[in-house]
Structure 1
């Protein structure tokens, strides 16, 4: 086991940044994790698989974990056959040609539905929702990919930040080192095609690295630069975390960062007052 030293790279203004440039980074993808069920010990399974493969977590490692395994272990799933749709769900489902039972779960997970859109030539329309945690996403993150069977719906954990903290604490205690944990989900992006992983739960890892007042390589002051550190890691995890690969855990090693005990995925949400497209 080794320590990752944090270099003294404080900017001229004396502010200690939460993340530093690194010349090299490793991404590790442990395989062999089981299919998880409600009540399973996720941290224990990670420890068992890592130990079996003679992989040890090191000081400063950051783990990105697909939310599906967290949700399954915590029971954030529903059997669509057991869902009774409300009148609101029946009406909205008819508008977008979706299963009203799935729409019922979407409504339960949402603060509000922002858009209900039919898509010409497609069997189903799309619902853009404000999730109860504030995320703006399709179907309030209710999904059936990587479900155990065709009737299972999977949604976000009740409190992904708390889930990340619990996993981080258990793994830190076992491996006796400082770690960071990010729980990820796959979102689309406004005005861009395709999907990428984003952070929906965070422990220790800085969500944003604000660089206001720093300077660029030419000495110009940075006024709005704030890299979304947690989202960048979540997005990069998708390079090794394939949908069919059954590899819900990616380990990042070699990055230099300062722990942020108060970090939350909510730190990445843009305030509604800054919405320029209302």
Structure 2
């Protein structure tokens, strides 16, 4: 019977800038080939000197590439690493007052360095995952996810597999690195002072020595590929604003059929023409422009009383 074990040892000292994480971690656990070493991003950041002084809100702004949603003081943003999370991953807990902890500059590179250092000290071939805590759309609470990885398969491909009834599996790429991060956090605990865990039983996910794999960056969807590029309120504001630079998170241009359906749903009667354009009357020109923006289309406005012509936006 498959067995998965998670060990989260006590005894990890306070990590400071310049500390050798491998030197601190290795004495706490007995490692075997195929183990997955899971460490929190906070201790990685502390060792790498990513503890900074200053106002947390200012650092959130500095780490933000794009605002996704805001509710009161809470900001959900896409940060410089491409991660979409609350507060850009800037953390003010378990650190001196007046300081904050930023995410590692390159969590995948951090994981690779730690993997190599563990191999040098122990001779063991392990995978390494660097974790942080994130919320999930539609779900209460938070869970740990992989923000960095080395020597680990982060997406387990099920392409072409079928179940015992011959049905093709609908989920083709379970995010196993995130699953490992979450199960490790169950043993570590948020207040346990145990930033290290070792997961044993999934050696099949660990890559050969020297092969660090894609890293956790492979888990990040590109801009425009997610169905939720903006929060509900922000999507309305961006579409009404109509700034061309804001169109990318809405995704690739929708099909003409989707555009005509959207127009009909708000009471505008469109006409689909042969070359892919959609035309409609100009009596609700502003509403047409907003819908076009949200669907990755643009509007050409003619003389008053003439039809509006919509075409897919080009780069």
For the superposition of Structure 1 and Structure 2, which TM-score range results when normalised by the shorter chain?
0.7 to 0.9
Counterpart residue number, 2:17 = 38
Counterpart residue number, 2:109 = 162
CA distance in 2, matches of 1:199, 1:238: 11
Task: Kindly indicate whether structure 1 or structure 2 has the higher relative contact order, using CA contacts under 8 Å at least 6 residues apart.
Answer: 1
Structure 2 unaligned segments of length 5 or more: list them.
229-249, 251-315
Q: Is the 8 A contact 1:213 1:223 kept in 2?
A: no
Shift of 1:162: 0.5
Structure 1 unaligned segments of length 5 or more: list them.
1-21, 81-100, 119-124
Counterpart residue number, 1:27 = 6
| CA 1:184–1:274: 2 relative to 1, 3 Å | same
Shift of 1:150: 1.7
Q: How does 1:47-126 map to 2 (within 5 A)?
A: 47=26, 49-50=27-28, 55-80=29-54, 101-118=55-72, 125-126=73-74
CA distance in 1, matches of 2:125, 2:159: 27
Tell me which structure has the larger Cα radius of gyration. 2
Q: Is the 8 A contact 1:68 1:146 kept in 2?
A: no
Counterpart residue number, 1:97 = none
Q: Is the 8 A contact 1:146 1:243 kept in 2?
A: no
Counterpart residue number, 2:122 = 175
Match of 1:150 among 62, 73, 97: 97
1:169-193, CA deviations, whole angstroms, 9 ceiling, x for partnerless residues?
A: 0101211121000000000101100
Counterpart residue number, 2:224 = 273
Counterpart residue number, 1:220 = 167
Shift of 1:141: 0.3
Q: Is the 8 A contact 2:108 2:217 kept in 1?
A: no
Q: How many residues align?
A: 225
Q: Is the 8 A contact 2:35 2:203 kept in 1?
A: no
Shift of 1:223: 4.7
What secondary structure is seen at the aligned counterpart in 2 of 1:274? coil
CA distance in 1, matches of 2:84, 2:42: 18
Query: TM (normalized to structure 2)?
Result: 0.68
CA distance in 1, matches of 2:169, 2:76: 34
| CA 1:223–1:213: 2 relative to 1, 3 Å | farther
Counterpart residue number, 1:14 = none
Q: Displaced runs of 4+ in structure 1, greater than 3 A?
A: none
Shift of 1:218: 2.0
CA distance in 2, matches of 1:237, 1:184: 9
Shift of 1:146: 1.8
Shift of 1:263: 2.0
What secondary structure is seen at the aligned counterpart in 2 of 1:239? helix
What secondary structure is seen at the aligned counterpart in 1 of 2:173? coil
Counterpart residue number, 1:136 = 84
Q: Is the 8 A contact 2:34 2:200 kept in 1?
A: yes
Q: How does 1:191-230 map to 2 (within 5 A)?
A: 191-230=138-177
